[in-house]
Amino acid sequence: MGQTLYQHIDEANEALDRSKAVIEVENLSKSFGDNHVLQNFNLILKEGENLVVLGKSGSGKSVLIKCIVGLIGIDSGKINVLGKNIPGLEQEELDRLRAEIGFLFQGSALYDSMTVRENLEFPLRRHVAKFGENVDSLQLVREALHSVGLEETMDLMPAELSGGMKKRVALARALILKPKIIFYDEPTSGLDPITAKEICYLMLELQQKFHTSSLIITHDMECARITSNRVVILIDGQNYAQGDYRELENSKDPNIKAFFK
Amino acid sequence: MKNTTLKNIKLGAFVTVGIALFIVAIYLIGNEKNMFGDTFELNALFGNVNGLQSGNNVRFSGINVGTVEEVIITNDSTIEVRMIIESDVRKYIKKDAIASIGSDGLMGNMLVNISPGNGNRPPVENNDYILSYSRIKTDDILNTLSMTNENAALLVSDLLKITQNINEGKGTFGALLVDTVLTAALRQTILQLNNAAYNTEQISDNLIKTTEKLNEDEGLLGALIGDRGLTKKLDTIMENLTNTSDYLTATSSKLETFIDHLEDGEGVVSMVVHDTVFVNDLKQTVANINEGSARFNENMEALKHNFLFRRYFKRQAKKQNKKFK
Amino acid sequence: MTETGEISRFAARFFKEVFKPPYEFRELLRQSYEIGWNSLPLVGLTGFIMGLVLTLQTRPTLVEFGAESWMPSMVGIAIIREIGPVITALICAGRVGSSIGAELGSMKVTEQIDAMEVSGTNPFKYLVITRVVAATLMLPLLVIMADAVALFGSYLVENLKGAVSFELYFSQVFEFLNFGDVIPSITKSFFFGFAIGLIGCYKGYFSKKGTEGVGKAANTAVVVTSVLVFILDFIAVLVADIFYEL
């Protein structure tokens, strides 16, 4: 049973050992006033890897990925994404780098005033050059929606979609630029367990289809189990422990055990 | 997509209508200020502009034909008013047209009135200077005249009352009989009245003549009195004056008859002195009459010295001198 | 005080980025439509009623003085110089300011602004600049519309009560108007529009987390903008006086 359940992880891990890192975070510190959210945090995401960052609510998980994509400035440390040092980048370079990044927000963050299609076209506005001159944006939108199984929603407004559909559309939006890295901020939050599981399998499926690396932030253990190659546990702003899901599940450390109850 | 196009059309319509309204408004305002269309410049010098400002209207015979462009003080007693006038009316404004400062109604803005000049002078040119006069002086004249008029009317009504009373035999004429002082005073009054009446008559005659003459006359005064409103005003005043003098003459003749009667001693016996109030009244009236006629003569004197009529009176005096010679 | 500084910095950022490409023309058109066209019914109705009421209220007094013929010019000057711009600005502060505040506030809260940023679109350009520019451009147009409708309303009253012809009424209105009345009034409308857009965006863009934050953003946007409209109006009158010495 265990063997089949974790088989994909083992296979992936073998490949990962030989691959290079796409994200390197070194000694990252970030505080809001007296609240030291991240302290000397270290993390490495390898190419093709699904890395899950586990942590309690308010432990700074969201801050971590927002720092990595440059949405929040950092106090100290190094963040290297696809070979570029994020804190030192000009806005223009940052924008160019972001064409290689997909981001799935906690609340989907679909633009309320736009249709699904316009939502998907939005990232293309700036980065359409990535696909060459004569790219058909409608074709790209269709492809992306097809890959999440929601082609028929193209002309609907986000308000007309269910929570799970919104997540899928947001996922399609994150994928439309065919990014190298996708960040998932609580991909299953606000969803019923069945839909949450569907989304997790979809993430896995898409990761294999598009050969992306993923950084997944969650407190949903089921999601972590399904999607992770490797898990990082974030406690008190530090990289408390890391390893694959099975290792951590069997850990004796009470702090780690608290997650797997 | 269709939706967006429709929205853009609506937005376009909105913007177009808005800008169009703005342009129309600007055009209309500019039109009122004569900024568009053919115009020419006209100047006039004033001693006092009574608060005229640039932007005020310029009227030609009561029609708006332009605006005041600029009011400049050229020296301590002269103010130059530059006006922008529609080219269309240039041919009607002759070289001898007169500009004057007026106001638009009781509380209205100040404005420049241009009275047309004599028909046979050539029309004004661009940048011409036309003559002007300040209406304040005319106003003063008219005020003096109408005050005189009022005084005379008051006097006449008093007199009428008295004579009526006397002729009806009311009151106490015994007192009058005895009171020679009163009789003497009455005589004096009548004399003065006669005098006043004569004066009034003469003055009104003179005024009529002056007006006629002035109407025919050229030059500043002619043009001034040629102003219809003013002439009418003067006419009314003169009519009133004539009426007054007629009354005066009538009253004094009545009084004279009455006094003659008194001296003849007719109906004296029946009149017993009872009514002291009446006597007092009479005394008061006589005093009033004296005062009134004195003032009247004063007014007339003032009128004589007024610049408008000075020339005429001088001429009159010369004539009399000649007669004496 | 700190807020004033923050708003100034926000405004400075606006001016720094407004002329830098890329320009978001489609979004600008969309916002102009939202702010301009969609405010039109409300602004028009308010303007019309203002014209009616002003005329009805002023008329008896003027009739008493026998100055009925002053009605058009008086109402015209009142509407064009003061009432049109200020009423329109207040209406828009309520309608546009609150909707911008609430929209940006909820976008902030639901991370839509972050989403734009990671999509490589500068949300400041896309959201703030388009709205501020749209409000700045649309408000004068709305003011012109409100003025026109208000004058028409005033004319209707005059026509019913005093039988004044359309032509005479409007020729009287424009006889007493100067450029010194119209130009400053339109100019200050631009500033009103700018203030409405800027404050709405500022409040929304920096709204606190949670639904309460969104409500507060919308609310304070309206309050601050309304006060600012009056302050700006006061300044505008002072400046116009210096320029035109009226």
The predicted-structure confidence for B252-264, as pLDDT tens digits, reads as follows: 676 667 666 655 5
Has residue B35 got a pLDDT over 60?
yes
Whether the CB-CB separation of A119 and A132 falls below 8 Å is answered with no
Residues of A contacting chain C (CB within 8 angstroms): 66, 69, 71, 91, 95-96, 98-99, 101, 103, 105-113, 122-123, 125-127, 173
Nearest Cβ partner of C111 from A109, A112, A127?
A109
Report the share of chain C in percent with pLDDT over 70. 98
- Closest chain C residue to B7 measured between Cα atoms? C33
- Give me the pLDDT at residue A129, please: 62
Q: Is the dihedral of CA C163, C167, C171, C174 positive or negative?
A: positive
How many Cβ atoms are within 10 Å of A205's Cβ, its own excluded? 12
With a CB cutoff of 8 Å and minimum separation 6, the contacts of C103 are: A113, C204
Q: Is the dihedral of CA A13, A19, A21, A27 positive or negative?
A: positive
Residues of C in contact with A111 (CB under 8 A): 107, 112, 115-116
Nearest Cβ partner of C112 from A111, A123, A125?
A111
Residues of A in contact with C119 (CB under 8 A): 98, 122-123, 125-127, 173
Q: What tens digit of pLDDT does each residue of B132-144 get?
A: 776 555 556 666 7
Report the share of chain B in percent with pLDDT over 90. 0
Mean pLDDT of chain A: 79
CB contact under 8 A, A105 and C117: no
Has residue B242 got a pLDDT over 60?
yes
Residues of B in contact with C186 (CB under 8 A): 22
Find the mean pLDDT for residues B37-44.
82
CATH superfamily of A2-100+179-260: P-loop containing nucleotide triphosphate hydrolases (3.40.50.300)
Instruction: Give C47's pLDDT tier (boundaries 50, 70, 90).
Output: very high
Report the share of chain A in percent with pLDDT over 90. 0
Find the mean pLDDT for residues C218-244.
87
Give the position of tokens 């953003």. C217
Give the long-range contacts of residues B223-226, CB within 8 A, separation 24 or more: B223/B96, B223/B98, B223/B115, B223/B117, B223/B118, B223/B131, B224/B98, B224/B133, B224/B138, B226/B115
Measured in angstroms, the CA of C177 and the nearest CA of chain B are apart by 6
Q: Could you give the 3-state DSSP secondary structure of residue C113?
A: helix
Find the mean pLDDT for residues A23-28.
83
Find the mean pLDDT for residues B95-123.
77
Find the mean pLDDT for residues B253-277.
54
d(Cα C141, Cα C146) in Å, to the nearest integer? 9
Whether the CB-CB separation of B10 and C30 falls below 8 Å is answered with no
Closest by CA position to C200, among listed C72, C93, C43, C76: C93
Which one of B29, B57, B69 would you mutate to disrupt binding with C, by most C Cβ within 10 Å of its Cβ?
A: B29
Give the single-character DSSP code of B123: B
Find the mean pLDDT for residues B229-250.
67
The reply to whether C112 touches chain A by the CB within 8 Å rule is yes
Q: What tens digit of pLDDT does each residue of B197-214 get?
A: 677 666 666 666 665 655
Before C85, cis peptide (omega within 30)? Answer: no
pTM: 0.66
Whether the CB-CB separation of A91 and C92 falls below 8 Å is answered with no
- Give me the pLDDT at residue B127, please: 82
Backbone angles phi, psi at C101, to 5 degrees: -60, -45
Strands A181-185 and A213-218: parallel
The reply to whether C114 touches chain A by the CB within 8 Å rule is yes
Has residue A229 got a pLDDT over 50?
yes
Q: What tens digit of pLDDT does each residue of A36-81 get?
A: 888 888 888 888 888 888 887 777 778 888 888 888 888 888 888 8
The reply to whether C103 touches chain A by the CB within 8 Å rule is yes
Task: Kindly state the helix (H) or strand (E) to which residue B110 belongs, with its residue range.
Answer: strand B110-115
The reply to whether C121 touches chain A by the CB within 8 Å rule is yes
Which of C56-60, C87-91, C210-214 has the highest mean predicted lDDT (pLDDT)? C87-91
Burial of B224 (0-12, 13-18, 19+ CB in 10 A): buried
Whether the CB-CB separation of A231 and A259 falls below 8 Å is answered with no
Subunits adjacent to chain C (3 or more Cβ pairs under 8 Å): A, B
Q: What tens digit of pLDDT does each residue of A168-197 get?
A: 888 888 888 888 888 888 888 878 888 888
- Give me the pLDDT at residue C231, please: 92
A vs C, Cβ pairs < 8 A, gives 55
Report the share of chain A in percent with pLDDT over 70. 89
The reply to whether B35 touches chain C by the CB within 8 Å rule is no
**Domain boundaries in chain A?**
2-100+179-260
Has residue C48 got a pLDDT over 90?
yes
Which of A121-130, A146-155, A229-238, C217-226 has the highest mean predicted lDDT (pLDDT)? C217-226
The reply to whether C40 touches chain A by the CB within 8 Å rule is no
Residues of C in contact with B27 (CB under 8 A): none
Q: What tens digit of pLDDT does each residue of B58-86 get?
A: 888 888 888 888 888 888 878 888 888 88
| A97: amino acid identity, one letter | L
- Give me the pLDDT at residue A134, please: 63
Report the share of chain B in percent with pLDDT over 70. 53
Closest by CA position to C125, among listed B111, B184, A125: A125
The residue ranking higher by pLDDT, C91 or B147, is C91
Closest by CA position to C43, among listed C147, C132, C153: C147
d(Cα C61, Cα A167) in Å, to the nearest integer? 66
Lowest mean pLDDT segment, chosen from B93-102, B274-283, C178-187, C234-243: B274-283
